Each structure stands twice: as structure tokens, then as C-alpha cells.
Amino acid sequence: MGIITTDNLVFEYIRRDENGDRIGEKRAVDGVSLNVEKGQFIAVLGHNGSGKSTMAKHLNALLTPTGGTVLVCGMDTRDEDHLWDIRKSAGMVFQNPDNQIIATVVEDDVAFGPENLGVPAEEIEKRVTESLRAVGMLDRKNDSPNHLSGGQKQRIAVAGIMAMKPECIIMDEPTAMLDPIGRKEVLETVHRLNKEEGITVIHITHYMSEVTDADAVIVMDHGKVAMQGTPREIFSRLPELQELGLDAPQATILASELRGRGIPLPEGILSISEFLDAYRALPAAYQAEDPYKSIPEHIEESVTALAEDEAPLLELEHVCFTYSPQTAYEKKAVQDVSLQIRQGEFVCLIGHTGSGKSTLIQMLNGLEKPTSGRVLFRGEDIHERKYDRRALRSKVGLVFQYPEHQLFESTVLRDVCFGPKNQGLSEEEQRARAEGALKLVGIAEENWNDSPLELSGGQKRRVAIAGVLAMHPEVLILDEPTAGLDPQGRDEILSEISRIHREAGITVVLVSHSMEDVAKYANWVHVMDSGKLLYAGKPAVVFSHIERLKKVGLGVPQVTEIMRGLYPQEKRPAMDFITVEDAVSALCPKR
């Protein structure tokens, strides 16, 4: 018998109306049977609301089943006498890095679990040191968690579990709120613990790229197990996955596209290296000629995506920004950045966390005033004394990260009216604008009078975006609008934004960590590193600088890596292949 087994696990929420009367049940988990063996690395996939988190909370008795049984190391989770033994054996890491750290010092936080278990002081000290070493955070043991990155905080959370000497770690979307670097460091850490310390890992995620190294993958949908198997088996059923609202790594998608065009690549390709091996093993007749040869050696390097003679809409002139100047905490967030944004562009801003992107976009609408340098909107300095900055904010709309956390009104419609109301519009006009904006982001009319809190995560976010759109901005700036959403939610939000850009003619500035998304949507990319603007260009040009991007902790789309892997270039090509479509047309010999 495995270390964790569930037999026909059912969990029902009781739904109640406003008076607390029972109006029905919702089955969040519906007949799940699992068997996890000691030392396995299990990945659980599923879109938001598929029941995967609810299931996970059963595995360490945070929830007890409505029906069926859950056994952890042979103990029934319904048996109250074993409660603490179960939680000690199956530790849990949660999604939000900030909300699971209890102490103000790293080592004290790691000690929290063993302290609760009543472990003697010297033993706790030993365990804390060991656990921090295991996650590679020993040198930060006396730091405040507030000074750590998201990835580091999650590693502290893992160390906190390790200090309880568990058999198994359950991770409930631990990477959903992290940037790519943080995701990688957390994943590498748990894979190492799995291999070296033999810890069983159950990793819940909606990032497909994180499951390729798992021993087994379970895909959940509507509270049921929809698919189960090795990563290869799962990934070879690509259409099914996409139907379940999940995506696959670009290597898998590209292989499947090529197979559809008659190139005999094997099914279930998981990674870039597997793709490269499989493609190289193809008979010569199927292999394409070096497509880089058809790229001209020099392409005209323009300075903007659109015509240069047009006056810029927004302009930064040698802008610097320093937090807490002349104190011990002085931090130069932005240093001497000059850039121009023209009407109708879709601009992406990339750079790792802390490179100054968020500060930069707050200067674009005058929320932050540069320490030096000028910000111009339609040629006017927005920090001139007479300039109306409040009016500017409705012309340059800014959507913050996790914008749904700012919703406050009792209904969706009223919340979206907040912006137009502040603009001093009449009630009819407010309403008309709000309705228009809600339609634009695709919120159905039947939800307009709901409380924003009742909506799903993706819907809430769209309401928040509508709140900015209702002010009829000329520029829409979005700070990572897809953070924390599942693949389907991500795609939906981005295609809405792209449609708004096309149809409403709004200039878009998008901050993103996903190079694949940038490649797909941007027509101009700015690369930031340590507060400076590194370089800019069309996406196909920007992503041809692979080495340069990697040096500053960024990457390129998987397809670009694949293309370069297949056709190594001595010199950097003037442009690169950056989308699956690009690669498909390059690799399919024309007949």
C-alpha cells in the first residue's frame, strides 16, 4: 500500500443562501482514488476550480472527506487522534509566499513547526540548520522574510516543512505567484529533496512545463480524475489537454503541429532536448534546409514599431527614480531611461523582478514623479505645475498587478462606474461607459449586478480591467495581467487585450514574464535590467539576442531555442523565429 491513498474521495460544500438556509451542495471532489508510493514525485494538473486544491487539503487533514477515505501512512484522516501525526507526516506548502510565513526572522519561521511539535531546543536548532541547508537558504537565516524574493520565501516554507521531518510534501500551486526564476528555484529544490532525501512530493500546478520530470501526472476536471499516467502518456494526448483548459510546452505543440503536416515525429515530446533529438533522427527528406539562410543579414533597424515621423504619445526623457533617497534604504529603481511610445503600438516591457518595470510604468501616468528627467504626454511635461495630472490618469490607464484586489463596490457595475464618476461624468454617461467597458472585456450582462467577490478569479480580473477601460484611456498599461491565472484564463485575458488594442485602437503597454506571450502579441519590446533600459526592438529582433537575454535572467520562447538548437548560427541572425507558426512554416518544406 502506498504512503498516501484515497479511496473514492468525495467532498461536498454546502451552499447556503443569505439567510443561512441550505440551498444545495456542490461536489468539489467527486470520487477520486489515488495511490501514491513512497518516494514518488506526483504532479496534479487542472484548471482553476477543478478541485485539485480541495483534494490536496484532504491529504493532510485540513479537510475531512464527506465520503470515501483518505489514508496517510496508514492513518485515517478522520481519526482525530492521529491528526497531528498526519499533518507532521504530510506537510503542506501554499500558494501565497507572504501569507504562510509566521515569524519575522527566517530561522524562527523554520522553527515554528518543530516548536509546535514540542521538539527539544537543541534538536530544533539542528533541524533548522539542516532544513535551511537543504533548500540552500542557510546564509539568509537571520534575515527578515520581507527582504526575500518570492522564490526564496517559498523555499523557506519548504524548509519549514522539512524541519518537521515529513514523509511527504504537498505543494498547492507553490509557483503560481512567482516569476520564472522563482519557479525554477522552487522546483529544483523540491526535485532535489525528492531524489536525495527520498521525500514524496505531490505538486499541484497549472504550469505544464513543471510536470515533465514527474513520475506520474494526474489531471483533474470537475472534481474527477480526467487523465492519469506518465508525463509522456499525458502529453501525447494534446487535444484532450487543451479541451481541459490546459496548455502544453511549445516543444510538444510544435511537434504535434509538424506531425499534423506529415512529418513523422514521435508522440509525447516533452522538452526542447527531446524535440531536438527526435528531429535530428528524422530521415533527411523530412528535414528542412537551414531557414536562417533566408533571413537577410541586415534588416533595417527602426527605432519604433510604427512610422518614425509620427509624434510620440508618451515619452520618457532621461528619467531616474530613487526610493528613499539619502537614507540607508536608498534604492535606485530606474536609471536614465529614455523611451517613446507611439499611438497604436502594442509595447511589451520585459525584465526580471526588481528590474524597475513597475516603477517605470507608474511614472508613465504620473503616480510616481521621477527624481530627475521628464515625462511627456503628447509633448507636454506632465510635472509642469499647471498640468492636470488627475485628468492624465484617465488618459493613461494603469492596471496594477492583481487588480481584482482593488474592487470595493457592492456590484460589478458600480465598481466599474468608480472611474467615470471620478471624472465627473453624469450618471447616465457613467453607466453607459461602464456597460461598454464590461462588454469589451466579455463580462455577461447577468453578472453586472453581482457582487464582484462572487465572480471567479479570471472574471474579477476582467472587471478590474473594465474599471480602467471605462475611463476611455488612450493608453492602457497592464502590469502582469495574467499573474496567478490558469492557462485558459491567461489566454482569454490576453486575447481580450489584443482585441481591445485592435478594435478600440488603444495603445497597450504590457509588462510580462512570459516570453511566449510577448512574442505572440507585442510589436515592440523594451528590455530592462537593474533599472536601466538594456535595448529595444521588434520582438523577432529582440529575441535573436539569446545570450544577452540569458545574461540578465530572461529567456526566449521555447521555439526560438529549438530553432537555434537545430540550426546553430555562428553569428547572431538579424531576426529570429519566435512563434510556433514561425517555426512550423520554417520547418515544413514547401512542396
Q: Which residues bind other proteins (CB under 8 A)?
A: 60, 62, 84, 87-88, 91-92, 94, 96, 98-105, 107-108, 111-121, 124-125, 128, 145-147, 160-161, 164, 323-324, 329, 331, 362, 365, 367, 390, 393-394, 397-400, 403, 405-408, 418-419, 422-423, 453, 467-468, 471
Long-range contacts of 272-277 (CB under 8 A, 24+ apart): 272/558, 272/561, 272/562, 272/565, 273/565, 275/251, 275/562, 276/562, 276/565, 276/566
CB 37 → other proteins: shortest distance, Å?
Answer: 23
CA distance 25 to 303: 59
Three-class SS of 102-150: CCCCHHHHHHHHHHHHCCCHHHHHHHHHHHHHHCCCHHHCCCCHHHCCH
Q: In the complex with other proteins, which residue's Cβ is closer, 367 or 546? A: 367
User: SS3 of 200, please?
Assistant: strand
**Distance (Å, whole) CA 114 – CA 132:** 14
Query: Is the CB of 242 or the CB of 401 nearer to other proteins?
Result: 401
Q: How far is CA 439 from the centre of its chain?
A: 25
Shortest Å distance, C-beta 425 to other proteins: 10
Is residue 19 exposed (0-12), middle (13-18) or buried (19+ Cβ within 10 Å)?
Answer: exposed
Helix (H, G, I), strand (E, B) or coil at 39: coil
Residue 111 to residue 164: CA distance in whole angstroms: 9
- Closest contact distance (angstroms) between CB of 98 and other proteins is 6
CB of 430: closest distance to other proteins in angstroms? 12
For the bound state, the minimum distance from the C-beta of residue 440 to other proteins, rounded and expressed in Å, comes to 16
Residue 468 beta carbon to other proteins: minimum distance, rounded to whole angstroms: 6
Nearest distance in Å: CB 144, other proteins = 8
Closest distance of CB 398 from other proteins, Å: 4
Cell numbers found for residue 203? 505538486
Which residue, chain included where needed, has cell 454546502?
14
Q: Smallest distance from the beta carbon of 50 to other proteins, in angstroms?
A: 20
Question: How far, in Å, CA of 99 to CA of 246, rounded?
Answer: 27
Of 331 and 374, which has the nearer Cβ to other proteins? 331
Q: Which is nearer to other proteins, 228 or 423 (CB)?
A: 423
DSSP class per residue in 533-568 = EEEEE-HHHHTT-HHHHHHTT----HHHHHHHHHS-
C-beta of 377: minimal distance to other proteins in Å?
15
Distances (CA, A) of 430 to 403, 413, 458, 477, 560: 20, 10, 24, 22, 46
Q: How far is the CB of 83 from other proteins (least distance, A)?
A: 9
Q: How far apart are CA 361 and CA 398, in angstroms?
A: 8
Scored b (16 or more CB within 10 A) or e, 365-377 reads bbebebeebbbbb
Contact 56, 92 (CB under 8 A): yes
Q: b vs e for 440-471, b when ≥16 Cβ sit within 10 Å of the residue's Cβ?
A: bbebeeebbebebeebeebbbbbbbbbbbbbb
Minimum distance of other proteins from residue 95's CB (angstroms): 8
Q: Which CB sits closer to other proteins, 424 or 568?
A: 424
What is the rounded (10 degree) CA torsion for 257, 262, 264, 269?
Answer: 10
**128 vs 319 by CB, closer to other proteins:** 128
Of 19 and 146, the one with the shorter C-beta distance to other proteins is 146
Centre a 10 Å sphere on the Cβ of residue 74 and count the other Cβ atoms it contains: 11
- Cβ distance to other proteins smaller for residue 366 or 487: 366
Q: Can you read off the three cell numbers belonging to residue 21?
A: 438556509
Pick the closer one to other proteins by CB: 125 or 336: 125
Q: What angle do CA 146, 147, 150 make, to 5 degrees?
A: 80
Number of Cβ within 10 Å of residue 341's Cβ equals 24
Give the DSSP letter of residue 266.
P
Nearer to other proteins, 113 or 312 (CB): 113
Q: How far is the CB of 325 from other proteins (least distance, A)?
A: 12
Between residues 285 and 329, which has the closer beta carbon with respect to other proteins? 329
Closest to other proteins by CB, 55 vs 217, is: 55
Q: Least separation, in Å, of the C-beta of 451 and other proteins? A: 11
Q: Which is nearer to other proteins, 183 or 460 (CB)?
A: 460
Smallest gap, in angstroms, from Cβ of residue 470 to other proteins? 9
Q: Which amino acid is at 11?
A: F
Of 286 and 323, nearer to other proteins (C-beta) is 323
> Are the C-beta atoms of residues 298 and 517 closer than 8 Å to each other?
no
Between 127 and 520, name the residue whose CB sits nearer to other proteins. 127
What are the C-alpha distances in Å from 184 to residues 67, 159, 179? Answer: 37, 16, 9
